[in-house]
Amino acid sequence: MAVSAGRPAGLARRSAAGDPRNGERLAVRSHCVVSEHGATPPCDSLYAVSSPFGPAGPRLAVGVPTFMEAIVTKRTVLADRVAALHKLLSVALDLAAVQDLDRILELVTNGVCDAVDCERASLFLYDDERIELFTRITTELEIAEIRHSADQGIAGWVARHGQLTNVPHPPSDPRWNAGFDRQTGFTTRNILAVPIMSDVDSRLLGVLQLLNKAGDGFDSFDEQLIQVFAGHAATALERRRLLDEARQSQQYAAAFETARSIQVGLLPQQLPTVPGYRMAALWQPAEFVSGDYYDWLQLPDGRLAIVVGDVSGHGIGAALLMASVRAMLHVLVRTHSTPEAILALLHEGLVADLRDSRFITLVMATVDPVSHAVRFANAGHAPALHYRAATDEFVRLQATSLPIGFPQIELPPIDNRLSLEPGDLLLLGTDGIVEVSNAAGDLFRTERLMDLVRRHRRGGPQHLARMIGETIQDFHGKPLLPDDCTLVVLERQADSPTAV
């Protein structure tokens, strides 16, 4: 007995009488039978008996193993794609719970490499300051980091054009940079690369690149798959960036709050007690900290020194300089009593630290509470006003020198002495008060400040300072002022005794 390829007669008849395609299906369903007629063709020979055109007609059936191999191949491809989609889903779920950057990169590169079944995967991050692409995590890489200009290589082209590219033979592609292969001894046979773009603002985040897919290289399914991986990578990278920014903002807020507390601690904690005088102070920083400074200091001869200063700009840098001003003043007033000498020494001590065109305007007025005589030195500071109650007029305290940090030249001499009469006011402020603007672009100006003083002076320094602060805020019309605002108000009370 021998084994031969055959089919039952009934099946052959149905094939001959029916659609030619039935013959192909019947050929696939044929099976080996036992025959008494000696040697017959083996079971893997072509089976064309089912052709409806007879023995001489075209052969419609295929070799059984060949057709089965095609089906098995299709099933294998389908199974591989299903596995790839399962891997994609698994990576997407894992990424949703990950915040660490290296772990995000590791999940994406390993996941896409397994899903596509290629030799290597690299996720290049984009450094927008240096215009470079660099890796932190790759699969099976012999070198710690790859970093190159965004103008180089296939990855650079993808980054610049924001487009996917599939390169079946890199050496023949003019965009190809063989430096990596020469450095590592690796042989790149094919490349698939896609940009990773922010889903928030379409900003370039990086490039995902795959190397060496077996067989015929990367196909259209691989292209679709890598784009979905790149989308999940972009979401994870953006989420991580936002979390970092939120964490950094919290740290900044805590640091600024600490800086603000320190600076507030450097300002006077209570008003001085001066017989026959009342005082008030207004201090509104534009940010957490301020470049404005005010203080009152007791001089060795018993007089009171009132100081208001303003560092150009505002924020941390200006606040640090103001801390230096305060420290130096507290030392200088122990051995010097004239405001001109103190400001000259202050300039000498600070000019070396005033870089990047920074400067300081500052006014110091010394008050004798017995004689009511005032002596001042003004380093380019405004507003600095003396309000005369008896005549309802203002006198500006003119500059006696240029701002600290400017090349010092001798200015024409002025009378830097005045006397405070009952009801008189001394107002020392910073330019944030008079230079604040409204929605129409109009400045508040010194004239509006003078008008406020005339209308509210009878309520006392505290009431006047509060009204000035509220009026400035209403005039600007926004919650945050554009510049620091500081004002010190000194009033000689109407019933204070006059020196004999």
Query: Would the pLDDT of 34 be above 80?
Result: no
Please give the residue that has the higher pLDDT: either 50 or 294.
Answer: 294
Element (H, E) at 317: helix 316-332
Range 274-297 burial, b when 16+ CB lie within 10 A, else e: bebbbbbbbbbbbbbbbbbbbbbb
Using an 8 Å Cβ cutoff, are 144 and 183 in contact?
Answer: no
What's the pLDDT at 499?
Answer: 56
What's the pLDDT at 275?
Answer: 92
pLDDT in tens, 333-345: 998 989 999 999 9
Residue 41 is encoded by which pair of tokens? 């063709």
pLDDT band of residue 63 (cuts 50, 70, 90) is low
What's the pLDDT at 431?
Answer: 94
Of the listed ranges 124-128, 421-425, 492-496, the one predicted with least confidence = 492-496
What's the pLDDT at 496?
Answer: 67
What's the pLDDT at 240?
Answer: 86
* CATH 3.40.50.2300 is right for the domain spanning 84-243: no
pLDDT in tens, 459-490: 999 999 999 999 999 999 998 899 999 999 99
What's the pLDDT at 473?
Answer: 94
Query: Would the pLDDT of 76 be above 80?
Result: no
Query: Would the pLDDT of 255 be above 80?
Result: yes
Of the listed ranges 46-55, 127-136, 460-469, the one predicted with least confidence = 46-55
Query: Would the pLDDT of 32 be above 70?
Result: no
Give the SS3 label for residue 57.
Answer: coil
Give the SS3 label for residue 81.
Answer: helix
What's the pLDDT at 214?
Answer: 83
pLDDT band of residue 101 (cuts 50, 70, 90) is confident
Spans of all domains in the chain: 2-62, 84-243, 270-492
Distance CA 369, CA 420 (A): 10
Query: Would the pLDDT of 89 be above 50?
Result: yes
pLDDT-above-90 percentage for the chain: 49
What's the pLDDT at 73?
Answer: 64
Query: Would the pLDDT of 40 be above 50?
Result: no
pLDDT-above-70 percentage for the chain: 83
* CATH 3.60.40.10 is right for the domain spanning 270-492: yes
pLDDT in tens, 370-388: 999 999 999 999 999 999 9
What's the pLDDT at 383?
Answer: 96
- The pTM score is 0.61
Taking the CA atoms of 88, 89, 93 and 94 in sequence, report the sign of the dihedral they define: negative
Mean pLDDT (the chain) is 83
What's the pLDDT at 287?
Answer: 82
290-297: average pLDDT: 92
pLDDT band of residue 49 (cuts 50, 70, 90) is very low
What's the pLDDT at 96?
Answer: 81
What's the pLDDT at 38?
Answer: 44
What's the pLDDT at 498?
Answer: 65
What's the pLDDT at 253?
Answer: 83
- Cβ neighbours of 38 (radius 10 Å): 8
Query: Would the pLDDT of 404 be above 60?
Result: yes
Query: Would the pLDDT of 42 be above 90?
Result: no
The amino acid at residue 60 is L
395-419: average pLDDT: 92
Q: Which of 74-78, 140-144, 354-358 has the highest mean pLDDT?
A: 354-358
Query: Would the pLDDT of 241 be above 90?
Result: no
Q: Which of 268, 267, 311 is nearest to 291 (CA)?
A: 311
pLDDT in tens, 142-171: 555 678 888 999 999 999 999 999 999 999
Query: Would the pLDDT of 8 be above 50?
Result: no
Q: What share of residues in the chain are helix, strand, coil (percent, to 5)?
A: 40, 25, 35
String of DSSP letters for 201-255: T--EEEEEEEEEESTT---HHHHHHHHHHHHHHHHHHHHHHHHHHHHHHHHHHHH
